[in-house]
Amino acid sequence: MHPRLPHAGILSPQAIMIRACFSRHSGVAHRGALERAEMATKQKLPAEPSGNQCRSEQCEMAEVEIPVYSYAELKKITNGFSAENFMGKTFSSNSLLYRGEIVDKESNLVRKVIVEMRKNEKDYDLKVWQTQLNALKDPAISSHPNVVKLQGYCNSACDLGLVYDCHALGTLHSLIFDESFSWSMRMKVALQLARVLQFLHSQEKPLILLNFEPRSILVDMDFNPLIFGFGLASGGVLGIIDHRVLRLIILNGPQVYLDPEYTLCGITIGPWCDVFSFGTLLLAMITKSPDQEVDKIIARSKYSFLQGFYGINFTKFIVLKNFWKDGKYHIRDSAAVTKLAVRCVKSCMTRVMKYPERPGMSEAVSILECLCVVKELGLHCSSLA
């Protein structure tokens, strides 16, 4: 488990002044961050805090008041929601992401933030935004090092916003096709994502994300993933999702990362839904494929034994073609990761379809921790990285 990221002090809207934001990071910046990340991952980090320490930290976080911003303030933070600061659109929750900067008027210190904006137009917009806000304000969720830290929010009549304390390279979706995003860093990200899902699923009342997709995952300067897509989450402290809300979102377009056995067959929501999303995301990362291609890869390996055998080996070939020049790439790692990803997207309707069940996230973590590249980076122990 990675150590908790330091939680910066909260600034009130009245104590800030805004300045223009930085432009998008270049490939050179990515490579520089990559070198720093690979050096950092080889250093031993402190063990996870004890249960009592976690509880005291959660109580301390619960007392912190989250600043409320106006739409005008968020517009200044993002330099007028400029094209230079635009990062992309989240696919499932239909929101827009922007880079921003907040400057403390007294200390002149700059805080890099990410602003997520959505229009309060459709019936489900406010519900999705409120669910995400509640999740990120809950210390039991936000205390995890791979969950983004909430810095503030905006709740105006027409616009809803969330401000995240994060200096990000970009979303995971934007990095999937980046050549500087190496095999070792992809496996680092995959392992941390598996661990955060394992954490959410291991709660007394498991929390299921449902829209676990690369557009809803930020990657910081050290290649640590930070999830923020809780808008469709169900269970845990958030309660059961309103299925009518989810159906309205599904009707807006195809959702590659949502479990089709829920969207088409109406199976019960459970951890297996996030396992499917994780497998789809893992396939996208190791094949450098867009959504439509990932969907085809899943189809090749999903139905019969012969198709499954062909699908796995075809996927291995794609992975080899993309990474064989990478110095950290291992054939055995590729085989293990590909097999894991394909298992995650298998049908879980075992009594009807007689297919192998999807692995749990604990098993996925164990498989990823055994990878050669993970051991070389010193990430295989949960108290490290």
Write down the residue that tokens 């996230």 correspond to: 361
Question: Is the pLDDT confidence value at 370 over 70?
Answer: yes
pLDDT of residue 311: 53
Most confident of 44-58, 100-114, 249-263, 335-349: 100-114
pLDDT of residue 182: 94
84-134: pLDDT as tens digits: 999 999 866 679 999 999 988 888 899 999 999 999 887 788 888 999 999
Greater confidence (306 vs 98) lies with: 98
Percent of the chain beyond pLDDT 90?
A: 45
Global pTM reads 0.80
Question: Is the pLDDT confidence value at 247 over 60?
Answer: yes
Greater confidence (239 vs 193) lies with: 193
Question: Is the pLDDT confidence value at 160 over 60?
Answer: yes
Q: How far apart are CA 273 and CA 201, in angstroms?
A: 11
Closest CA to 364 of 228, 201, 148, 135: 201
Query: Please, are residues 119 and 155 in contact by the beta-carbon 8 Å criterion?
Result: no
Query: Please, are residues 125 and 252 in contact by the beta-carbon 8 Å criterion?
Result: no
Most confident of 8-17, 116-125, 139-148, 375-384: 139-148
Greater confidence (383 vs 225) lies with: 225
Average pLDDT of every residue of the chain: 79
Q: Which helix (H) or strand (E) holds 104?
A: strand 96-104
Q: Which residues of 64-98 are buried (b: 16+ CB within 10 A; e: fewer)?
A: eeebebeeebbbbbbbeeeeebebeebbbbbbbbb
Residue 51 CB: number of other CB atoms within 10 A? 8
Which residues are bridge partners to 86 per DSSP? 98
Query: Among 1-10, 127-136, 271-280, 316-325, which is the least confidently predicted range?
Result: 1-10
Average pLDDT in the 172-181 region? 93
Q: How far apart are CA 316 and CA 330, in angstroms?
A: 12
Give 20's pLDDT tier (boundaries 50, 70, 90): very low
Question: Is the pLDDT confidence value at 30 over 60?
Answer: no
